[in-house]
Structure 1
C-alpha cells in the first residue's frame, strides 16, 4: 500500500506492518519567461474582476496592459518583474496594491544587535556606548558594560576607527560573542561574553523605549492629569495592550491621548471607537463621598484625543476617520492619506511572487469611497525635524494642551 504521510510517499507492507520511504526524484524544465508572462496577464485580469471600483477610477486599463507588456521580453528576473507589476498596478492610483518578491534565501546576511545605542560623535577606535536598551541582553546584574564604555574588539577582532564594524555581528544572533571593553572612567579593560539579539528584537526594544519616552513626556507636561497610549497596530495584540493600559495605569487620569502615529493598519477601528466612546451613566459614591468612578467600567468615558500623522496607513486611517465621524474628540497632527480599503493579496504559481488588489471600499458620510479621501486633523501640527532632534514632540505637546483645556472646563462632581 502506498500512502502520503506528512507530505511524503511511504510504502506500507500490510502483512509485516513495515513502513518504508519511497524516494522520488524528478526534474522540471521551467520556462520562467512564459510563467512571468502568464502572471502578468493574470494580474491584469484579476484587477478587472476584483478591484473595488468597477470603473477602475477611470483608468484605461487596456492601454496600460499594452504599454507595460512591451517590457516583458527584456525582464529575466523576479526583482525586475515585481517592479513592473508594481508600476502597472500603481496606475490605478490606489493603496494596498503592487507586486512583492520574497525569494527563499539560505543563510542570509543578518546583522545581529548588541542592544545598545552608540555615541555617533565618537571617532574611535572602537564604539562608545551611549545607552543600554531596557530589556536588552546587557540589562542584567552581572554585566560590567555600562554607559560610557568603549567596545574595542568583537570576537578578538579590533574595531578600527574607519571600519564598518557591523560585519563582525553578521549571523551572530543568539550565538556567544566575546567583547573586549574599556572603561575610561575606571581605566579597566575586561572581556564579556553575551548573546546578540535579532534586528527584529532590537526594533521591539527601540519601540518600547519610544513609547516610554512619550508616556513620560505626557505625564510631565500634564502634571499627571493626562494619560497616554500608543496603538502599535490594528490587531488583537495591540487592542489588548490598549485595553490593559487605559483601564490600568491610566484609569484615574482625567483625559487620554491616543497616539496612532506609525501604525501600518490591520482591522481594529470599530473595537477602538467602541472602547473610547463610552458614555457615563452612573457614578459610584461610597458613604456620600465625591464620585471618583462609575459606569461604564469597561470603556473609556472621559475626554480623549487622537494624534495622527502622514505615516498612518490603512486601518490607521479608518480609526481616526471613524473617531471624528462619531464626534469622540479632536484629531491632532498631520493629514492622513485616504487608504481605507480591504485588500486581497494573492500568491502566484511562483510562490515567491505576490500582488495585491484593494477589493472592498469603505463608504462614509461623504457617500463616496474613503480611498484617496484625505483626512484632515482638527488641529494641524507638523513635527519640526530639528525640534525632534532636541527631544521635543510638538504634536504631543499640543495634544496635552488641548486635553488640559478640556478638563479645565469640565464641571466638578460633588458629593451628595
Structure 2
C-alpha cells in the first residue's frame, strides 16, 4: 500500500454559534452510526454468503456479529470502524480477507497515477497491531529526504496521522516512526506530487539478458510481456522479477503463463464455494505472440511475493519451464475478489481455493525456490542485488548443462 492523494468522505459536523453546533453534532453522530451499520452488515453478509469455505474455517460467524457489530456502530471515524472490521476478518486466518477504508481504497485506485505522496510503501505489522512496517522508501521522496529507513515501523497514534486519512500535497503530516533499535522518531513529512512507479519495466542493460520487472498483475501485463518477447533471440536469457509483487488479476497470470507454456495446458485447479473443481488452463493471452517463447527463464521471488506472484512461478516450476530463485513466498494464494462498500471502502474476500496442477495447496506454504538467495536491507541500501546475480548464475549453469533443468519443490 503506497501513500497517495485521496479525497476521503467526511462525517464531521458543522460547528455554528448557539444551539446549531449541538444539533449538527448529534446529526453527524447518527449519520456516522447509520453508515457504520451499512458497512458492517455488508461485510458480515458477504462473508456469510460468499466466502469460499461455507464452514468459514470453523468460525462462529453469528457470535462474531454479536461481538463486533456494537463496536462497529459506535466507531467515531473510519479508523475505528475499519479496525473493528479487520479484527473480525482476522478470525478467518486468511491473508486475502481484509477491508480497506475509503482513503486507502482511493490510494490503491490511484496507484498508477500522478499523485501526492510521501514515498512510503507500508504493510501491516502483525507483531504491533494497528501499526505498519516500512516496506520500501522511494528515492527522491520526502520520506527519503527525512531519513526514513526500510524496516522502521510507523506507529498509528490516536492523535497522529494514519493510513485511513487523506494525503494532500503541501499539507504536513505528523508521523511517529520507530527505528530498528526501538527508538521513537517523530517526523513531519510534507507530501509532494510524484510521478507513478511504472507497473512493468524491461531492463536490457545487460548483454544477452532481459529483466522484466512486474510490480503487479495489472491490466495489460500479458499484452506488454508479449510485446517485450516478440522477436527476442531464443538464446537471450529472461529474468521475471516478482519480488514484492502483491498479485492481482488471475487472467493476467494466465496471460504470462501463456508466454511460456503450450496453449490449453492445465496449470492449476480452483474450487469455489460450490465445491465444483474447475481446471485452469492456458488461454493464449500473451499479446500478439503466435507461440510460447523457448528462452531460458528464471523467476525472482521473495517473502512478499503473493497470490498471482506465487501461482505463476509455481506453475512454471512444476512444468520445468523456469528456475525459481530467491526466498520462500508468502503463502497467500486463495483466489479473491473485491466488493465496493457503501462508504467507498473495499472488501477483499477469498472466493475459491487453489491447488497447482501437481496437487499442491500453496496457501500457508508458499513456493520454495530452486535456488535460495536473500537480499538484505544493507544490500539494497548499497545498491547490491545478490538474488538477481544468483538468477543469472542459475541460467548460466543451465546453459552449461547443470542440474537445475528440472522442476523444484513447491512445498
Fold match (TM-score > 0.5): yes
Contact kept? 1:336, 1:376, Cα under 8 Å? yes
Contact kept? 1:255, 1:407, Cα under 8 Å? no
Q: Please tell me whether Structure 1 or Structure 2 has the larger radius of gyration of its CA atoms.
A: 1
2:223 corresponding residue in structure 1: 240
Cα distance in 2 for partners of 1:371, 1:331 equals 18
2:68 corresponding residue in structure 1: 68
2:340 corresponding residue in structure 1: 347
Cα distance in 1 for partners of 2:34, 2:260 equals 53
The CA RMSD over aligned residues, in Å, is: 3.8
Per-residue CA deviations over 1:330-354 (Å, capped at 9, x if unaligned) read 1111111222233232223x33232
Q: Does 1:255 align with 2:261?
A: no
Cα distance in 2 for partners of 1:121, 1:269 equals 33
2:197 corresponding residue in structure 1: 203
Cα distance in 2 for partners of 1:101, 1:65 equals 20
Cα distance, 1:45 vs structure 2: 2.7
2:313 corresponding residue in structure 1: 320
3-state SS in 2 of match to 1:328: coil
Provide closer, same or farther for how the CA distance between residues 229 and 122 of structure 1 changes in structure 2, counting only shifts above 3 A: closer
Q: 2:352 aligns with which of 360, 380, 405?
A: 360
Cα distance, 1:301 vs structure 2: 0.8
Q: Does 1:310 align with 2:298?
A: no
Contact kept? 1:231, 1:260, Cα under 8 Å? yes
3-state SS in 1 of match to 2:392: helix
Contact kept? 2:317, 2:323, Cα under 8 Å? yes
Cα distance in 2 for partners of 1:352, 1:388 equals 37
Contact kept? 2:170, 2:192, Cα under 8 Å? no
Provide closer, same or farther for how the CA distance between residues 95 and 111 of structure 1 changes in structure 2, counting only shifts above 3 A: closer
Q: 1:375 aligns with which of 348, 367, 375?
A: 367
2:116 corresponding residue in structure 1: 110
Cα distance in 1 for partners of 2:391, 2:262 equals 20
Map 1:73-222 to 2 at 5 A.
Answer: 74-102=74-102, 110=116, 117=140, 170=170, 198-199=193-194, 201-204=195-198, 215-216=204-205, 219=206
Q: Does 1:53 align with 2:59?
A: no
Q: Does 1:269 align with 2:261?
A: no
Cα distance, 1:365 vs structure 2: 4.4
Cα distance in 2 for partners of 1:122, 1:92 equals 40
Cα distance, 1:254 vs structure 2: 3.6
Cα distance in 2 for partners of 1:354, 1:260 equals 25
1:132 corresponding residue in structure 2: none
Cα distance in 1 for partners of 2:145, 2:42 equals 54
Detail structure 1 runs of 4+ shifted over 6 Å in the superposition: 118-123
**Paired residues, number:** 282
Cα distance, 1:56 vs structure 2: 1.4
Where do 5+ consecutive residues of structure 2 fail to align?
1-26, 107-114, 120-137, 147-166, 172-190, 264-288, 403-411
2:331 corresponding residue in structure 1: 338
3-state SS in 2 of match to 1:203: coil
Contact kept? 2:333, 2:363, Cα under 8 Å? yes
Provide closer, same or farther for how the CA distance between residues 313 and 378 of structure 1 changes in structure 2, counting only shifts above 3 A: same
Provide closer, same or farther for how the CA distance between residues 368 and 87 of structure 1 changes in structure 2, counting only shifts above 3 A: farther
Provide closer, same or farther for how the CA distance between residues 111 and 122 of structure 1 changes in structure 2, counting only shifts above 3 A: closer
Where do 5+ consecutive residues of structure 1 fail to align?
1-27, 124-166, 172-195, 280-295, 411-416
Contact kept? 1:333, 1:381, Cα under 8 Å? yes
3-state SS in 2 of match to 1:358: strand
Contact kept? 2:301, 2:326, Cα under 8 Å? yes
Cα distance in 2 for partners of 1:386, 1:35 equals 46
Contact kept? 1:215, 1:228, Cα under 8 Å? yes
Contact kept? 1:262, 1:311, Cα under 8 Å? yes
Provide closer, same or farther for how the CA distance between residues 253 and 303 of structure 1 changes in structure 2, counting only shifts above 3 A: same
The normalised TM-score by structure 2 is 0.59
Cα distance, 1:322 vs structure 2: 1.4
Cα distance in 1 for partners of 2:210, 2:219 equals 21
Cα distance, 1:61 vs structure 2: 2.7
